């Protein structure tokens, strides 16, 4: 069995080794080095870079916890926005479906820098978003989106929602429409039918989307760099500053390891939670 499965997987395994495993091992090794005045860095086996971050409550609250909160908020909003879109697209066919799928995938087909610059035009004080909201009397004066965490969250949602829509579509299309129809026939409201039938059956697709979107949001640095203010302390942006601006590669490497570890732990927690929810739903059905 292994002889049949292994050869087709070899190119992918080789790519993972070269482009993921080896660079990550180099980052881990670099995280134990030390930065010395007058030198780029010197080889060492020191935990100072880790204790500098993990032993400092300011970093834990204003960088790690702040990044987790923003990632969770943007991911939750992406889920709320993605479900209606995915449900509507699942019920369409032909040209309309193709057009809607193209619109959903558009953010994924545009270069990130180009996409962010387009939103900068929208976010400006006299830009499209503020002009529209003032015209609709949502608010009376322009709201600051540029150099503000509001703009960062909006952009993270815009980039992340398509991933969840695509993940949900696969699960939704596997649900028999007769299940929802039967629930409606016995008096269930649309919300009850969704919550009792559609939501439990789409949990695998939802979790797959959450893994991708939360990881992207948690590690984001380009969006906070271009839209956030100079004090934005999302961990991906802090790593960028330490590595390229402060030239402190050992500390940036330690932050990278901490970021990957924290992201892995959170995703494992999400996986355990979703696994328990799915098992509970199956037990209730039995």
pLDDT digits (tens, 9 = 90+) for 184-232: 888 888 888 888 888 888 988 999 999 999 999 999 988 999 998 877 8
Q: What is the pLDDT of residue 237?
A: 92
pLDDT reported for residue 10? 84
Structural domains of the chain, ranges and CATH numbers in brackets? 63-285 (1.10.3720.10)
pLDDT in tens, 120-131: 888 877 777 888
Position 151 pLDDT exceeds 80: yes
| Element (DSSP H or E) covering residue 187 | none
- pLDDT by residue (tens digit) across 106-124? 888 888 888 888 888 888 7
pLDDT band at 286, cuts 50/70/90? Answer: very low
Residue 283: per-residue pLDDT: 53
Least confident of 33-42, 57-66, 157-166: 33-42
């Amino acid at each position: 069995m292994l002889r049949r499965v292994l050869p087709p997987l070899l190119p992918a395994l080789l790519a993972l080794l070269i482009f993921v495993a080896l660079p990550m091992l180099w980052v881990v090794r670099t995280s134990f080095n030390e930065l010395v005045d007058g030198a780029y860095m010197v080889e060492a086996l020191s935990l100072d870079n880790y204790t500098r971050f993990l032993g400092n409550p300011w970093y834990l609250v204003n960088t790690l916890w702040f990044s987790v909160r923003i990632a969770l908020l943007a991911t939750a909003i992406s889920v709320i926005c993605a479900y209606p879109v995915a449900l509507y697209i699942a019920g369409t066919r032909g040209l309309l479906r193709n057009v809607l799928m193209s619109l959903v995938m558009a953010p994924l087909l545009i270069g990130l820098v180009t996409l962010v610059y387009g939103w900068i035009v929208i976010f400006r004080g006299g830009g499209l978003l503020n002009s529209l909201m003032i015209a609709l009397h949502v608010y009376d004066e322009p709201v600051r989106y540029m150099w503000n965490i509001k703009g960062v969250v909006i952009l993270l949602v815009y980039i992340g929602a398509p991933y969840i829509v695509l993940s949900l579509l696969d699960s939704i299309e596997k649900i028999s429409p007769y299940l929802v129809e039967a629930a409606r026939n016995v008096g269930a409201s649309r919300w009850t039918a969704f919550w009792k039938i559609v939501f439990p059956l789409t949990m695998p697709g939802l979790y797959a989307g959450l893994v991708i979107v939360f990881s992207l949001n948690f590690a984001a640095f380009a969006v906070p760099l271009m839209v956030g203010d100079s004090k934005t302390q999302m961990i991906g942006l802090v790593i960028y500053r330490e590595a390229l601006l402060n030239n402190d590669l050992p500390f940036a490497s330690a932050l990278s390891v901490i970021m990957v570890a924290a992201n892995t732990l959170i995703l494992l927690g999400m996986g355990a939670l979703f696994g328990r929810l799915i098992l509970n739903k199956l037990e209730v059905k039995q």
